[in-house]
Amino acid sequence: MAQDRFSVSSFRDAKKKGRPITMLTAYDYTTARLLDAAGIDSLLVGDSLGMTMLGYPDTLRVTMDEMIHHTRAVARAAEHAMVIGDMPFMSYHVSVEDAVRNAGRFIQQGRAQAIKLEGGRQVIDKVKAICRAQIPVLGHLGLTPQSVNVMGGFKVQGKDIEAARQIMDDALMLQDAGVFGIILECVPAALAARITETLEIPTVGIGAGNGCDGQVLVIQDLLGLYKQLRPKFVKTYADLGSAVEKAVKDYIEQVRTRAFPTEKHSFAMAPEVMEKLLSSK
C-alpha cells in the first residue's frame, strides 16, 4: 500500500511525538528513487548541487533554471518523501516579487512541495510574502553558504554571545513569519538544542549536534562520493567512491582483455540467417 506523503503537518507531528525527522539532499531521479524507497522523510534539492553535481567551487553561481531542472527529476521519483527546493543565490535577494515568483516556480515547474531559503531578519519580508502565497517555507540559519563572502569562509556560527543571540532571535522571527521548520547548520550543539526547545516548529540539524528535531546530510557525503571537502560533522555510511572506482577499473581491464562481454551479454543469431547473409555477398 502506498504510504502518505510526508508533509508540513508530518513535520509538526514528528516534533510533537519526539520522532526524529530524516532528510537528505537529492539531485537526480535514480538517487531520489533509492532514498524514497528506503523511507526517507524529506528530500532537499539543495543548491549544494552546484558543487556536487555541476562542479562549481561554491553555491553562488547556481541558477533558478538549474534548480528547477534537478527539482523536477527528484519530484518524479518521490512517492513518499516531501520534496523541498532550495532557492538559489539572488533568486530572493532583490525583491519580494522576485522571491514569490521564484518560489512559485519550484512548486509549479519543479513539482516540489516546499521551498527553503537562507537567512533570518534580512529575508523576513520575503518569507512572509512566500508564506502568504501558500508556499511552505523551510528556514536555514547558522552557516548559510550563500553568505560565504560575508562570513569569511565556511565556519561554525553562533559561538559568542552576540552571534548566539542573533541566531536565536532570527529563529523566533522566522517562526513568527510562518516557516514550518528551520535547518540549523554548523552551530554549537548546545545552542541548537536550546533553539529546538524554545521553538514550536521543528529544527533539522547539520553539524548542529544531536538535540535537533531531525538531521540532514548531503547524500554524496553520506555515500562517500564527494571527497573534495569533508567537514567534521559528516558521517560516511558507505564508501561508494572507492566501489565506483574499483568497478570502473575492472570494466576497463575486462574490455581491454576481451573478458567482457561474454556470451551471456550477447545476442545470438540463427546460423542459417548468417549463412544467407554470407552467400548473398
- C-alpha grid cell for residue 12? 509538526
Stretch that binds ligand KIV, among 9-17, 45-53, 126-134, 227-235 (CB under 6 A): 45-53
Pairs from 156-165 (Cβ < 8 Å, separation ≥ 24):
156/186, 156/187, 156/188, 156/207, 157/185, 157/186, 157/187, 158/187, 158/188, 158/191, 159/188, 164/188, 164/191
CA distance 73 to 25: 13
Range 69-108, binding ligand KIV (CB under 6 A) = 86
State in angstroms the smallest separation of the CB of 27 from ligand KIV: 9
CA distance 237 to 22: 15
Question: Which of 48, 91, 157, 215 is in the footprint of ligand KIV by CB under 6 A?
Answer: 48
Contact, 127 vs 106, CB < 8 A?
no
Question: Which of 41, 46, 89, 157 is in the footprint of ligand KIV by CB under 6 A?
Answer: 46
Across the chain, the runs of DSSP E, i.e. the strands, are 21-25, 42-45, 82-86, 114-116, 137-142, 181-185, 203-206, 214-217
Question: How many residues contact ligand KIV, by CB under 6 A?
Answer: 11
Task: CB nearer to ligand KIV: give 3 or 210.
Answer: 210
State in angstroms the smallest separation of the CB of 264 from ligand KIV: 41
Question: Which of 216, 222, 223, 225 is in the footprint of ligand KIV by CB under 6 A?
Answer: 216
> Counting contacts by CB under 6 A, is residue 213 touching ligand KIV?
no
Contact, 146 vs 89, CB < 8 A?
yes
Cα dist from 31 to 35, 40, 273, whole Å = 6, 12, 43
Query: Is 185 an active-site residue?
Result: yes
State in angstroms the smallest separation of the CB of 46 from ligand KIV: 2
Stretch that binds ligand KIV, among 3-11, 40-48, 169-177, 188-196 (CB under 6 A): 40-48
CA dihedral of 220, 123, 198, 42, whole degrees rounded to 10: -30
Helix, strand, coil tally for the chain in percent (to 5): 45, 15, 40
Catalytic-labelled residue, pool 97, 185, 197, 272: 185
Question: Which of 15, 27, 42, 47 is in the footprint of ligand KIV by CB under 6 A?
Answer: 47
Task: CB nearer to ligand KIV: give 41 or 185.
Answer: 185
Task: CB nearer to ligand KIV: give 50 or 188.
Answer: 50
Amino acid (one-letter) located at 72: R
> Counting contacts by CB under 6 A, is residue 206 touching ligand KIV?
yes
Pairs from 249-253 (Cβ < 8 Å, separation ≥ 24):
none
Task: CB nearer to ligand KIV: give 105 or 226.
Answer: 226
Task: CB nearer to ligand KIV: give 100 or 218.
Answer: 218
Amino acid (one-letter) located at 36: D
Range 131-190, binding ligand KIV (CB under 6 A) = 183, 185
State in angstroms the smallest separation of the CB of 117 from ligand KIV: 10
- C-alpha grid cell for residue 24? 537528505
Question: Which of 25, 42, 91, 113 is in the footprint of ligand KIV by CB under 6 A?
Answer: 25
Q: For residue 261, say if its preceding peptide bond is cis, omega within 30 degrees of 0.
A: yes
List, by residue number, the catalytic residues.
185
Give the binding site for ligand KIV (CB under 6 A): 25, 44, 46-48, 86, 183, 185, 206, 216, 218
